[in-house]
Structure 1
Amino acid sequence: MRKLVSFSLGTVLMLSACADVATMKRASDQRAGFAPVSDISRRAAGADAVWLQSPAEREANAQRVRAMAHRKTLNADQAVQIALLNNPGLQARYAELGLSAADLWETARGPVPSVGLSVSGLAGGDVTRSIEATLISSILDIATQKPRTRTAELRFRQAQLAAAGETLALAHETRRSWIEAVGAFEAAALIGQSQSTANAASELASELGATGALSRADQAREHAFTAELAAEQAAAKLEAQLAKEKLVRLMGLWGSGTEFFVPDRLPALPGGAPGRADIERQALANRVDLAAGRLELQAIANQYRLNGQTRMIGDAEFATGVEIEREEGESERSPVMDVEFQIPVYDTGGLLSRRGSLEYMRSANSLAQAAVDARSEARAAHTSVTGSYQIARHWRDQVLPLRREINEQALLSYNGMLTSTFELLNDAREQLESELSAAEAKRNYWLAEADATAAIWGGATGGSASEEGEEE
């Protein structure tokens, strides 16, 4: 009897020892999987991400955010940092990472065996006791524990990348919102500078009209310009207020926390043209969505017990289903175009079901398409940054100096009584239009810079400058 009980309990302990202790320890950490998310946030967004898990941490974080934002003028980096510290939706996403860690912990622990005890043989004069220990456990779960743990670990790593992607998306959207808000305030300020001149011209037109020196049509033109300018300024102020409110929402602020300011002007253009000739290579190396796609392939291969990786081919080759032989005699191409995104190919011949083969091929082709899209987005981002910089610099270095010279000469002519007041004002109107166009070009450049970072790391929300241009 003792031997039977000892054997059964020993079997229970043996099965319990099947648990992956190292994985369990890693997955049971309070912030399991968050270190890579924080590292990607610092490298891509230049800001720290935090995972708040206690009232004390939340209180300390709230004090930190208030010290950073309350009645302060925030630059773009500060706005992004506050958003990553204070956005509740991001904290919810981190909680999903924690749930994925809990799933990994439970899978690595393995099935929990149970022991059933029964007493029999108590009959007649002879007292016979026998204790039977019955081990109840899922043989199937025990047999498949290792591959299931491997799959759970891959899903956990995918959850890490998803959390990093959400972090980068918030940082990208916050930076764009800051640029849009500051750009709108800058436009409103430029219009406001011309409003006083327009008001003076309108009053002068009324006085000249009263003396008969100016026709009613000319008076109406001056009054209409003043009224239109006032409407444009009101629209610019409204746009600025709405853009700032979006920024407030992304930063997770409310109540007195919204008492912060943004600059009246965007930063000046950099001294030299931005250089990202290797942006395509950077995108293929750093995009979190591509890394997640590779993990998905590994998870499917593990789920269907594929026989192992047989080779690696490029994204374009996989998408077309043709292996391309590159000969030395091929025409020379830019080094950026030669960058390859390697996709692992597993042996699907041993699959037991058509479903498994189709799932694998679907994921592999989706990954290939994602790599093609990433290449295109990177090239488009580089084109947008360089083109926007050239346009903004042209307005700054060519158009605006000419407009200033025109105004200076017009003022000299006006002081010499060679031109009228209204001719001087007309030149001022044209200068305002040039200044607004230059400010818009500068805003488009900074938006393109933000989109280029998103193209390299992932996390873009789809609000690119090019799309805005199409909507306009």
Structure 2
Amino acid sequence: MGALLLLTACADTATMSKARDERAGFATVAGISRQATGAEAAWLQTPAERQAHAQRVRAIVQGKTISAEQAVQVALLNNPGLQASYADLGMSAADLWETALGPVPSVGISVSGLVSGDVTRSVEGTVASSILDAVTKKSRTRAADLEFRQAQLAAAGETLALAHETRRTWIEAVGAFEAAGLVGRAQGAADAASELAAQLGETGALSRADQAREHVFTAELAAEQAEARLEAQLAKEKLVRLLGLWGTDTDFYVPDSLPALPGSVPNRSNIERMALENRVDLAAGRLELEAVAARYRLTGQTRMLSDAEVTGGVEIEREDGENERSPVLDVAFSIPIYDTSGLISRRGKLEYLRSANNLAQSAINARSEARSAYSAVTGKHQIALHWRDQVLPLRREIDEQALLSYNGMLTSTFELLNDAREGLESQLSAAEAKRDYWLAEADATAAIWGGASDNGEDE
């Protein structure tokens, strides 16, 4: 009995204090979210908190035109799926708390005969079990703590993934509305030309074939406008789902056009290093490796498995006749390999090597994704600038000259409308190029911090 009472004092009070908080571990999630997205994450656990945040969300969106930053903020405050993922963090904290608390002493006595006083050995069994739990409590607490830290990174990954998908969806929705607006403006000119063709046909100045050519352009534009409006509506509806909105809260707007292109893209020549330092999936992989080592008590680190060596140099980019030099320092992502020669369990050795090589592959993938994201940003920016600064000015000049020729009766209405159609296609292509640039910017952030969705990777 004295031994059982002694076990009650074996609880790890420091770990218990960390784990029993209602929002244990969420400060890490909120910090990563704030640093990566600039938005505040919230873990809502009471009706009062939910009501307060619902009012805050309603003040942001109802009847308002929201920006990409506001959309991300609303999603992190209001998405029920994200709140469900935070529950996994809470359950991991509860597991850590129970493990740190230690075994709960219990006594079981069974009397088989009152006369002889024969007592079974169940008391001894209970004590032995409790002592065994106490002896292994330190290792089990460490394992539970590693799992708790992994749960924090998993919750942060879910937060970043939602923020990334929300930003991409906002960009796609605004881009769809911008395309619909461009088609709508062309539709007005086509309707006027179609009406003129009908009037000329009544006077006999225009044949039926020529009238049909006028009307078919208008009809085609009407179909394109309907399709563009539908695409914009569906894109906004997807955004509504990510924001967790319903009812009157869905009465919000997005801008009619995406922001203008920046003059230059941010210099991210060190994007590989930033990814290796900040990716939550790589941090989680390191914790998994540490957990495997602790599970099999691997000690005596012998060497490091690295995906690359440290290199230094300078990167020179030439743009507009000027050279821009950026120092380059490539930091290797090192993975410890422990001495497994004395390990009895072959399974433990193989499990550790599997985790180590999976982590090495993840680091290689992260580097490649970071380089691809940077190439996409710079490439999409140059393409969008080409459409804006080269193609569209030429199209405007063509339209102006075509209108002068038409007013001087040097060209026909058909030629004017054909130039208008080609001009619309150029405007739509320029808008699409601008949209692709902003999507690439969102993907670059995800490549640095993690949380990239499948849509972003595919494109």
Same fold, TM exceeding 0.5? yes
Summarize the Cα distance change of 1:418–1:121 in structure 2 as closer, same or farther, 3 Å threshold: closer
Shift of 1:236: 0.6
Question: Percent of counterpart pairs with the same letter?
Answer: 73
Q: Which residue of 2 aligns with 1:467?
A: 458
Structure 2 equivalent of residue 180 of structure 1: 172
Equivalent position of 1:321 in the other structure? none
The residue that corresponds to 2:409 in the other structure is 417
Shift of 1:138: 3.2
Distance 1:447 1:118 in 2: 71
SS at match of 1:345: strand
Q: 2:295 aligns with which of 303, 315, 336?
A: 303
The question of whether the paired residues in 2 share the 8 Å contact of 1:280 and 1:336 is answered with no
Out of 302-311 and 287-296, give the one that drifted further: 302-311
Aligned to 1:72: 64
* Displacement of 1:182: 0.5
Matched, 1:45 2:37: yes
* Aligned AA (2:202): A
Q: How many residues align?
A: 442
Structure-2 residue corresponding to 1:149: 141
Whole-Å Cα distance in 2 between the matches of residues 453 and 40 of structure 1?
Answer: 13
**Distance (Å, rounded) in 1 between the aligned partners of 2:33 and 2:314:** 34
In structure 1, C-alpha distance between the alignment counterparts of 2:407 and 2:298, rounded to whole Å: 87
Structure 2 letter corresponding to 1:381:
A
**Separation in 2 of the partners of 1:214 and 1:364?**
77
Q: In 2, Cα distance between the equivalents of 1:221 and 1:457?
A: 54
Structure 1 residue 213: Cα displacement: 3.2
**How far has the Cα of 1:26 moved from its partner?**
0.3
> What is the RMSD computed on CA atoms of the aligned residues?
2.4
Q: Which residue of 2 aligns with 1:258?
A: 250
2:372 to 374, 380, 396: 380
TM superposition shift of 1:15: 1.7
* Unpaired runs of at least 5, structure 1: 1-7, 125-131, 317-323
Aligned to 1:313, the other structure's residue is in SS state: strand
Q: Distance in 2 between matches of 1:202 and 1:451?
A: 44
Q: What does 1:221-232 align with in structure 2 at a 5 Å threshold?
A: 221-232=213-224
For 2:217, the aligned partner's letter is F
Farther off after superposition, 340-349 or 159-168:
340-349
* Pair 1:106 & 2:113 matched: no
**Kept in 1: contact 2:7–2:131 (CA 8 A):** no
> 65-74 vs 268-277, which deviates more?
268-277
Alignment TM-score, normalising by the size of structure 1: 0.89
1:218–1:283 CA distance, 2 compared to 1 (3 A): same
Match status 1:288 vs 2:280: yes
SS in 1 for 2:336: strand
**Partners in 2 of 1:92 and 1:32 — Cα distance?**
15
* Deviation, structure 1 residue 208: 2.8
Q: Alpha-carbon deviation of 1:306?
A: 0.4
Query: Contact conserved, 1:274 with 1:385, CA < 8 A, in 2?
Result: no
Quick check: 2:57–2:74 contact (8 Å CA) kept in 1? Answer: yes
- State the partner residue of 1:57: 49
| Secondary structure of 2:252's aligned partner | coil
Partner of 2:17: 25
Alignment gaps of 5+ in structure 2: 117-121, 316-326
Q: Tell me the distance in 2 between the aligned counterparts of 1:195 and 1:282.
A: 47
Whether the 8 Å CA contact 2:272–2:371 is kept in 1: the answer is yes
1:319 is matched with which residue? none
2:190 paired residue among 198, 210, 218 = 198
Letter in 2 for 1:257: D
* Cross-structure match for 2:318: none
SS in 1 for 2:454: coil
Aligned partners of 1:23 and 1:105 also within 8 Å: yes
**Distance (Å, rounded) in 2 between the aligned partners of 1:118 and 1:434:** 89
- Mapped pair 1:163 → 2:155: yes
Identify if the C-alpha distance between structure 1 residues 191 and 119 changes in structure 2 by more than 3 Å, giving closer, same or farther.
Answer: closer
d(CA) in 1 for partners of 2:302 and 2:16? 31
What is the aligned partner in structure 2 of residue 368 from structure 1? 360
Cα distance change of structure 1 residues 341 and 333 upon mapping to structure 2, 3 Å threshold: farther
Instruction: Say whether the 8 Å CA contact 2:313–2:328 is kept in structure 1.
Output: no
CA distance in 1, matches of 2:169, 2:261: 18
Mean Cα deviation higher: 47-56 or 209-218? 209-218
What TM-score, normalized to structure 2?
A: 0.91
Is the contact made by 2:143 and 2:295 (CA closer than 8 Å) also made in structure 1? yes
CA-to-aligned-CA distance 1:340-373 (integer Å, 9 cap, x gap): 1111111111211111111111111111111111
